[in-house]
Amino acid sequence: MACCRTFDHHPQPLIGPSILNSNLALLASECEKLLKAGADYLHLDVMDGQFVPNLTFGHPVVKCLRSELGPKPFFDMHMMVACPEKWIEPMADAGANLYTFHLEAASDVESIIRKIKESGMKVGVGIKPGTSVESVLPYASLVDMVLVMTVEPGFGGQKFMEPMMAKVELLRKQFPKLNLEVDGGVGPTTIDVCAKAGANMIVSGTAVINSSDPGAVMNSMREKVAACLS
């Protein structure tokens, strides 16, 4: 099981299933199944209907999930919200471990990073497909993780955008110790390019959830990432 320690060392291969397309009415048991099958962390997609044209859940659900699952599982909050600063304290209080906001939604990036750190959570910053990698470079040394979106945020089950790998390559080259996450359309058919580009945190939704053997899918992706990191 991953924990905050993960972010204090050289990047590790970590698989974080996205529960977006799972049965949300059975959220806790779906998460338990994924953790038992070998998930390193849980990627929880928060959408507010403003930053993206879709709506999921917020901190009250995360708080209940924490209480159901106990203190161990690592919660990676993918905050697809228009006002990222608004939810920092509620998410920290709900038991979130990593708070990833979108650069496009932030008016004062450094202040948001500082507030997240003060709340005790790790910090991630994400960029949408249309956002240049150059725009995130000034913040890469201030955060624990950079998320490169490989689909337009808002929905699971979309097609992987391979041109985004150039962003991952550049970030890995300039920041060898940084955690780099890819999210969107990642699964057995797209993991190779992600691993070769240098991603170490792999979000995978439908490819894991729809598989008859989620554990095997996650293990195989982890091995591919590990082979490229070493």
Ligand X SMILES: O=C(CO)[C@H](O)[C@H](O)COP(=O)(O)O
Q: Tell me how far the alpha carbon of residue 153 is from its chain's centroid.
A: 12
- The whole-angstrom separation of Cα 230 and Cα 221 is 15
Residue 45 appears among annotated catalytic residues: yes
Strand partners of residue 99: 77, 123
- Of 48, 108, 183, 213, the active-site residue reads 183
CA angle 105, 81, 7 (to 5 degrees): 85
Exposure of 90 by Cβ count < 10 A (0-12 exposed, 13-18 middle, 19+ buried)? middle
Contacting residue, 92, 109, 186, 199, with ligand X by CB under 6 A: 186
* 157 annotated as a binding-site residue: yes
Strand partners of residue 102: 126
Contacting residue, 95, 185, 198, 214, with ligand X by CB under 6 A: 185
Minimum distance between the CB of residue 176 and ligand X, rounded to whole angstroms? 25
**Interface with Fe ion (CB under 5 A):** 45, 78, 183
Instruction: State the sign of the Cα–Cα–Cα–Cα dihedral 49, 52, 54, 59.
Output: negative
* 22 annotated as a binding-site residue: no
Residues 11-40 touching ligand X, rule: CB under 6 A, are: 18, 20-21
Coil vs helix vs strand at 145 = strand
**Part of the chain binding ligand X (CB under 6 A), chosen from 86-94, 102-110, 134-142, 153-161:** 153-161
**Nearest CB to ligand X, comparing residues 35 and 77:** 77
CB-based contact 127:147 (threshold 8 Å): yes
Minimum distance between the CB of residue 230 and Fe ion, rounded to whole angstroms? 27
Show the tokens assigned to 220.
Answer: 């195989």
| DSSP states along 87-129 | GHHHHHHHT-SEEEEEGGG-SSHHHHHHHHHHHT-EEEEEE-T
* 9 annotated as a binding-site residue: no
* 58 annotated as a binding-site residue: no
Residues 196-225 touching ligand X, rule: CB under 6 A, are: 203-207
**Nearest CB to ligand X, comparing residues 21 and 131:** 21
**Within a 13 Å sphere around the CA of 64, how many CA atoms are in the beta-carbon half?**
10
Residues 116-145 touching ligand X, rule: CB under 6 A, are: none
Minimum distance between the CB of residue 87 and ligand X, rounded to whole angstroms? 16
One character per residue 76-115, x = contact with ligand X (rule: CB under 6 A): --x-------------------------------------
Which residues of the chain form contacts with ligand X (CB under 6 A)?
18, 20-21, 43, 45, 78, 151, 153-158, 183-186, 203-207
Binding residues for a divalent metal cation are 43, 45, 78, 183
Active-site amino acid positions: 45, 183
